[in-house]
Amino acid sequence: MGFKRAWSATGVVALTGALLLTSAPTASADYIRDRQWVIDVINFEKVWAESQGEGVTVAVVDSGVDGSHPDLTGQVLKGKDVTGSGDAQMDTDGHGTGMASLIAGHGHGANNAAGVMGLAPKVKILPVKAAVADDYDDDQWAKGIRYAVDQGADVINLSFTDPLASPGSEGAKAIEYAQQHDVVVVAGTGNDGIEHLPYPAKLPGVVAVGAVDESLKIWENSNYGRGVTVVAPGVKIVGADPSRSNKYAEADGTSDATAYVSATAALVRAKYPDLTAGQVINRLIKSATFLDREVKEVPDEEYGYGLIRPYSALTMDIPKGPKQGPLAQAAPSTSTTSGAASDGNSTSQAKKKKSSSGNIFFVAGIAAVVVVVGIAIAVIRSRRNGGSGGPGSGGGTPPAGTGYPPQPSGYQQYAQTPPSHGYPTPPEQDPQYPNPYAPQPPHQGQ
């Protein structure tokens, strides 16, 4: 054991008519649809004009996915149960089906106006059942990842944390296998509200996702720290849940945020099939926004590189950048923290450990050489910084004081677009109106 869902256990509630009729707008076409505040905030309709994820497969490594749910019919492939307990489409827990619905739900009924609508409704879901009642280990989800890769998954969604995993574990090796086969791997940062990134989000090259609430501020229970990549909505999220009597539930958690980022990656892969997984991640990062947040250093320990903007990720003029992308180049000192864009090469923790015996003068000599080389590099960079990259160059060094890390050659600087680009300016939280988006007209479906 050791697996932990990135859904907040205390934040999952069944959605019944009695619960929702007290809060849903009277103009509601469907009370489940009206609870999906993310639809209006991200503006799904505008995003779908650019991409709906057609031709892309997202593997959901989780508790299984119920392909018979009315909001997922026709979207779920056969998949595999790596636990050996049964069918990948048997989901008695409901978590995996919920994640799949946020990614590829298409609703149901007239004009698909009822039920859950996912961000990438034409994506195919590959269900990989790697847990039975939260009971599975590193070996199981590692097998699930390898299976997903071999089946041609373009994106792998990991909405869980595993405190027993490690850099040299089977899970870490499986993620490396996925990255070697050009797969985008996305994982949640966890729901403990502490400065700690767990595995698998902590591993190099993984898109580590935190959660924001309805005001688009960091959720109080979202784990934070060095290595957060981006954030996405993760509070009061309605998803499909076959374990509930009416097949739906509302939950809080970085699980849900992870699903939205996986869906965004799928949308980008569908529109730009020539991009590598690393270049897809580059678009996610370069199109993200901090809105009006004051961030001193990027990546920020709470927001990472910012809040995802699916429409901007699809439409912004962003150079491809290196094939490996900005996350796969984790420096040796950060190889176990996922992370920030870096110029170094990925090295496992085991390889970094050396015997403490040796000549201390030899070590001191190396340190002196490093200092001299560092000074030389600083001088060279200082000279290079004297010139401007010019408009549209995509290169150059950020102005002093911005806190942005130096980017590899060919990388565009992070967009400093107005807060209204892609998201409405988040209103101040008013205690009389806990949901700032409640006054918005209800979504009427496709």
CA distance 86 to 80: 9
Per mean pLDDT, which range of 45-49, 198-202, 204-208, 391-395 is the poorest? 391-395
Tell me how far CA of residue 78 lies from CA of 57, 88, 138, 145, 420, in angstroms.
12, 7, 23, 15, 41
**What backbone phi and psi angles, to 5 degrees, belong to 40?**
-80, -35
* Contact (Cβ atoms closer than 8 angstroms) between residue 338 and residue 197: yes
CA distance 203 to 348: 10
* Beta-carbon contacts of residue 197 (< 8 Å; ≥ 6 apart): 189, 190, 208, 223, 225, 226, 227, 228, 337, 338
> What integer pLDDT is reported at residue 86 of this predicted model?
84
Per mean pLDDT, which range of 57-61, 156-160, 181-185, 340-344 is the poorest? 340-344
How many alpha carbons fall within 13 Å on the CB side of residue 382? Answer: 6
Q: Within a 10 A sphere around the Cβ of 22, how many other Cβ atoms? A: 7
* Contact (Cβ atoms closer than 8 angstroms) between residue 227 and residue 336: no
Mean pLDDT, range 403-415, rounded to an integer: 34
Q: Would you call 62 a catalytic residue per the annotation?
A: yes
- Given the residues 8, 101, 222, 255, the one annotated as active site: 255
> What integer pLDDT is reported at residue 368 of this predicted model?
40
Q: What is the pLDDT of residues 258-299, one digit of tens each?
A: 999 999 999 999 999 999 999 999 999 999 999 988 888 999
- Given the residues 8, 66, 81, 95, the one annotated as active site: 95
Q: Would you call 196 a catalytic residue per the annotation?
A: no
pTM to 2 decimal places: 0.74
For 357-389, letters b (16+ CB in 10 Å) and e give eeeeeeeeeeeeeeeeeeeeeeeeeeeeeeeee
> What integer pLDDT is reported at residue 11 of this predicted model?
46
Q: What is the pLDDT of residues 138-196, one digit of tens each?
A: 899 999 999 999 999 999 999 999 988 888 999 999 999 999 999 999 999 999 999 99
pLDDT, mean over the chain:
76
CA distance 339 to 404: 14
Mean pLDDT, range 307-326, rounded to an integer: 97
- Given the residues 30, 34, 62, 138, the one annotated as active site: 62
Return the H-helix or E-strand segment holding 156: strand 155-158
Statement: residue 442 has pLDDT above 70: no
Task: Look up residue 369 and give its amino acid.
Answer: V
CA distance 324 to 280: 10
Categorize the per-residue pLDDT at 421 as very low, low, confident or very high, splitting at 50, 70 and 90.
very low
Superfamily for 4-334? Answer: Peptidase S8/S53 domain (3.40.50.200)
* Contact (Cβ atoms closer than 8 angstroms) between residue 157 and residue 232: no
* Contact (Cβ atoms closer than 8 angstroms) between residue 186 and residue 279: no
* Contact (Cβ atoms closer than 8 angstroms) between residue 131 and residue 3: yes
DSSP code per residue over 119-146? SSTTPEEEEEE--BTTB--HHHHHHHHH
Q: Would you call 421 a catalytic residue per the annotation?
A: no
For 103-117, letters b (16+ CB in 10 Å) and e give bbbbbbeeebbbbbb
